[in-house]
Amino acid sequence: MEQIHNDDNRKLTSSEEKLAGIADRGEGERRDEWHLDPPDSCDYCHRSLSNSIFFVDGKVKGSFQWGNMCAECFFTYGDAIRWGAGQLYQQVGSNEWLMVGGFPTDEPEPF
Ligand SMILES: [Zn+2]
């Protein structure tokens, strides 16, 4: 796996592995969209995101509510990684979060 920010070299959780499969780092770097105000912690389990690899800014399944979710909570509460549902961010430097999934499309939003 290429260049995942992972200071303590820990093993990825299964949720992180799933998100790593969705993340498109190359497309993210081409688009160069960074989260301007990244959250400190997950809105749902309140774990710190400082050592996390991914978070999702996304819609809660079956709801109109949006939140910042860690990898684990995304698979519990989240809807999907796509425009209109959720954006996936990868931490590529200390507190520098690049959008790597759920990119804006030129298509009308699928509602
Ligand atoms: Zn969480």
Cα of 22 vs centre of ligand 1, distance in Å, is: 18
What tens digit of pLDDT does each residue of 26-54 get?
Answer: 999 999 999 999 999 999 999 999 999 99
Question: Which residues of the chain have a pLDDT value below 50?
Answer: 1
Model pTM score: 0.87
The rounded mean pLDDT for the chain is 91
Cα of 58 vs centre of ligand 1, distance in Å, is: 12
Q: Which residue range(s) make up the domain with 86?
A: 14-101
3-class SS letters over the chain: CCCCCCCCCCCCCHHHHHHHHHCCHHHHHHHCCECCCCCCECCCCCCECCCCCEEEEEEECCCCCEEEEEHHHHHHHECCCECCCEEEEEEEECCEEEEEECCCCCCCCCC
Task: Give the number of domains in the chain.
Answer: 1
For residue 72, tell me if it sits in a domain.
Answer: yes
Percent of the residues in the chain that have a pLDDT greater than 90, as a whole number? 83
Cα of 77 vs centre of ligand 1, distance in Å, is: 9
Cα of 78 vs centre of ligand 1, distance in Å, is: 10
